[in-house]
């Protein structure tokens, strides 16, 4: 992984950081892990573990057992009940979608016992594809046709997620879809109050507009919560194929159009200013409207209020990232990206306000 930093909802209230080395990430207890693996995948003749990703989100290790490769995901080292519960929720979700058409990385086994490596963890099949962020593989990077195909695959997988019957696959109780949209502004406003360090121009105005213009939810669905290019994997086939949606920590049951709004809120069209989602080359991508219409055709959902969902996404992201800035102000972080939120969070709010004036 590179050390690039990208904005991501799941890192509340921090940001997702793709930089971790074996020197900064202690390895799991290999003896206990070996014993557990013996019961789950068979005899272990050889075992090696290396850190792949770390930061505010889950830690990921590459586990080599004999001639097989797996990914081990566990909560951050500074873990708490919430982060441990997130991995347990993710395992429940992966078991539920195992027989669906939702592209995902298969759960091989899950361990709820924190005594094995210090926290619950998931053992997943190793995915050798590439994430939707620059630099892309040769033949994909700088290829207009491949860029458009990546975008179409992204929205098609999201439509598959929205169309899956979450009750039929055993996800009753996974979320609270009742009055989901009506709760959003108060839920995120309450979070902001826990670390508020300043008044953010336009935030109250945006929140008031959202409350006054809340649409009726057309149907509930399993939603990812942080759906964007960086949270999917592709195979470098011809044409390029989305092979897995990953990082389900924020998943719940709610309004599927919020996933679409989140995905498109950071979309950068020709002639627009650079957005916070500057981790990929946008120049050949389809427009928001092109992708939204494709999604509507595949799901049957009315997208006439899409501007609301994009505005809500910016309200939510601005509050999340203000948490990163609050850590910087409090002296708990010296990261330059946290410091930059002094400027970037108000820009997110203004972007959200511009969405309120659009006709979807």
Q: How many CB atoms lie within 10 A of CB 143?
A: 17
Indicate the pLDDT class of residue 14, thresholds 50, 70 and 90.
very low
Do 98 and 159 lie in one domain? The reply is no
* Domains identified in the chain, total number: 2
Last residue within a domain, chosen from 78, 101, 125: 125
Do 213 and 174 lie in one domain? The reply is yes
Percentage of the residues of the chain whose pLDDT score is greater than 90: 80
Give the chain's mean pLDDT: 90
What's residue 273's pLDDT? 81
Do 314 and 209 lie in one domain? The reply is yes
Do 305 and 251 lie in one domain? The reply is yes
Last residue within a domain, chosen from 100, 125, 150: 125
Asked if 112 and 75 touch (Cβ cutoff 8 Å), the reply is no
DSSP state of 119: S
pLDDT at 84 over 90: no
Highest average pLDDT, of 10-19, 58-67, 347-356, comes from 347-356
Do 348 and 303 lie in one domain? The reply is yes
Nearest one of 344, 284, 342 to 152, comparing CA atoms = 284
Sheet of strand 130-131, all strands in order from the earlier edge strand to the far edge: 130-131, 232-235, 241-245
Nearest one of 255, 274, 261 to 311, comparing CA atoms = 261
What's residue 199's pLDDT? 98
Do 282 and 138 lie in one domain? The reply is yes
Indicate the pLDDT class of residue 5, thresholds 50, 70 and 90.
very low
Alpha helix stretches (DSSP H) within the chain = 30-41, 81-96, 144-163, 180-193, 203-212, 256-265, 288-299, 306-329, 336-356
pTM for this one?
0.90
Q: How many CB atoms lie within 10 A of CB 110?
A: 19
Indicate the pLDDT class of residue 191, thresholds 50, 70 and 90.
very high
Do 209 and 105 lie in one domain? The reply is no
What's residue 57's pLDDT? 66
Alpha-carbon separation of residue 45 from 28, 34, 37, 69, 113 (angstroms): 18, 10, 11, 13, 24
For residue range 281-315, list pLDDT tens digits in order: 999 999 999 999 999 999 999 999 999 999 999 99
pLDDT at 18 over 70: no
Separation CA 91–CA 358 (nearest Å) = 39
For residue range 26-78, list pLDDT tens digits in order: 666 789 999 999 999 999 999 999 988 654 568 899 999 999 999 999 987 65
What are the backbone angles phi and psi of residue 61, rounded to the nearest 5°?
-115, 145
Q: What is the mean pLDDT of residues 12-38?
A: 61
Last residue within a domain, chosen from 71, 93, 125: 125
Separation CA 155–CA 250 (nearest Å) = 18
Q: What is the mean pLDDT of residues 11-35?
A: 56
Separation CA 45–CA 38 (nearest Å) = 10
The length of the chain in residues reads 360
Omega of the bond leading into 221 within 30 degrees of 0 (cis): no
Burial of 78 (0-12, 13-18, 19+ CB in 10 A): exposed
What's residue 3's pLDDT? 31
Do 178 and 323 lie in one domain? The reply is yes
What's residue 344's pLDDT? 96
Do 86 and 207 lie in one domain? The reply is no
Q: Look up the domain containing 291 and give its range.
A: 130-356
What's residue 360's pLDDT? 58
Q: How many CB atoms lie within 10 A of CB 26?
A: 12
Say which CATH number the domain at 63 has: 3.30.200.20
Do 155 and 274 lie in one domain? The reply is yes
Do 10 and 155 lie in one domain? The reply is no
Query: Which helix (DSSP H) or strand (DSSP E) does residue 125 occupy?
Result: strand 121-125
Indicate the pLDDT class of residue 85, thresholds 50, 70 and 90.
confident
Burial of 271 (0-12, 13-18, 19+ CB in 10 A): exposed
What's residue 12's pLDDT? 37
* Helix, strand, coil percent content, the chain, rounded in steps of 5: 40, 15, 45
What's residue 78's pLDDT? 57
Do 103 and 221 lie in one domain? The reply is no
Say which CATH number the domain at 293 has: 3.90.1200.10
Separation CA 18–CA 2 (nearest Å) = 6
Q: What is the mean pLDDT of residues 125-151?
A: 94
Nearest one of 29, 25, 121, 10 to 78, comparing CA atoms = 25
pLDDT at 11 over 50: no
Indicate the pLDDT class of residue 238, thresholds 50, 70 and 90.
confident
């Amino acid at each position: 992984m590179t050390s690039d930093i990208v904005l991501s909802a799941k890192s509340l209230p921090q940001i997702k950081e793709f930089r971790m080395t074996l020197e900064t990430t202690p390895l799991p207890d290999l003896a206990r892990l070996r014993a557990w693996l013996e019961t789950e995948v068979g005899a272990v003749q050889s075992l090696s573990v290396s850190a792949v990703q770390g930061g505010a989100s889950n830690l990921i290790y590459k586990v080599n057992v004999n001639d097989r490769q797996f990914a081990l995901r566990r909560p951050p080292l500074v873990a708490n009940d919430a982060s441990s519960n997130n991995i347990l929720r993710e395992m429940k979700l992966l078991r539920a979608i195992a027989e669906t058409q939702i592209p995902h990385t298969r759960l091989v086994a899950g361990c709820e016992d924190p005594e094995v490596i210090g926290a619950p963890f998931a053992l997943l099949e190793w995915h050798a594809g590439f994430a939707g962020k620059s630099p892309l593989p040769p033949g994909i990077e700088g290829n207009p046709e491949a860029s458009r195909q990546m975008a179409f695959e992204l929205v098609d997988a999201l439509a598959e997620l929205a169309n899956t019957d979450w009750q039929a696959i055993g996800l009753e109780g996974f979320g609270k879809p009742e009055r989901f949209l009506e709760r959003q502004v108060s839920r995120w406003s309450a979070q902001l109050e826990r670390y508020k360090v300043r008044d953010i121009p336009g935030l109250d105005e945006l929140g008031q507009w959202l409350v006054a213009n809340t649409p009726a939810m057309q149907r509930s669905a399993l939603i990812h919560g942080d759906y964007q290019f960086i949270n999917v994997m592709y195979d470098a086939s011809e044409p390029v194929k989305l092979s897995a949606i990953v990082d389900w920590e924020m998943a719940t049951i709610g309004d599927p159009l919020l996933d679409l709004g989140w995905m498109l809120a950071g979309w950068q069209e020709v002639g627009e200013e650079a957005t916070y989602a500057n981790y990929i080359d946008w120049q050949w991508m389809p427009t928001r409207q092109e992708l939204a219409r494709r999604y509507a055709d595949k799901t049957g959902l009315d997208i006439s209020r899409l501007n609301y969902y994009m505005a809500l996404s910016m309200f939510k992201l601005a509050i999340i990232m203000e948490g990163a800035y609050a850590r910087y102000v409090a002296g708990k972080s010296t990261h330059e990206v946290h410091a930059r939120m002094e400027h970037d969070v108000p820009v997110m709010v203004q972007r959200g306000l511009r969405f309120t004036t659009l006709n979807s």
